[in-house]
Amino acid sequence: MRRFLSPRWLALHALMVLAFCGCLGMCWWQLTRAQGGNTLSWGYTFEWPVFGVFAVAFWGKLIRDERRRTEPEQPTRLSAPVLAGARPPAEPERIRRVERAAPVEDTRDDPELAAYNDYLTWQNANPHRSRRDYPGRPTTYEGS
């Protein structure tokens, strides 16, 4: 329990007390305004105590979590290998990558597809340019 008397925890205790008292003060202020004829303040009159209870619940959760917290055990070093006499693993087999060229489609039969592929080729070569700068200005494909 001495850890709850550290400067950090004393500051947290003080913060909780200030938050709770501040919420109760705001509740009282809203109550006096509500009694003076401000109907909106009635909602705040019941809302501020909820905020105060929330501050106390959060503070209680911090204390409960701190009490449950334990220092993790330090792993002990092994004095001998776990698998004595085991062979070292063999070098992993290298995987060869075979690259195949994508099949080239014949676009001579479809002029719309050929124009669009020309546009994409130009766009890939000129990434900084706008599509309005394309000299062919294709208008027949769906992307325009």
pLDDT digits (tens, 9 = 90+) for 91-108: 777 777 777 777 776 766
For the question of whether the overall pTM of this predicted structure is more than 0.75, the answer is: no
> What is the signed CA dihedral for 47, 49, 54, 60, rounded to 10 degrees?
-170
DSSP 26-74: HHHHHHHHHHTT-THHHHHHHHHHHHHHHHHHHHHHHHHHHHH--PPPP
pLDDT digits (tens, 9 = 90+) for 29-78: 999 999 998 888 899 899 999 999 999 999 999 888 888 876 556 666 65
Domain ranges of the chain: 2-68, 110-144
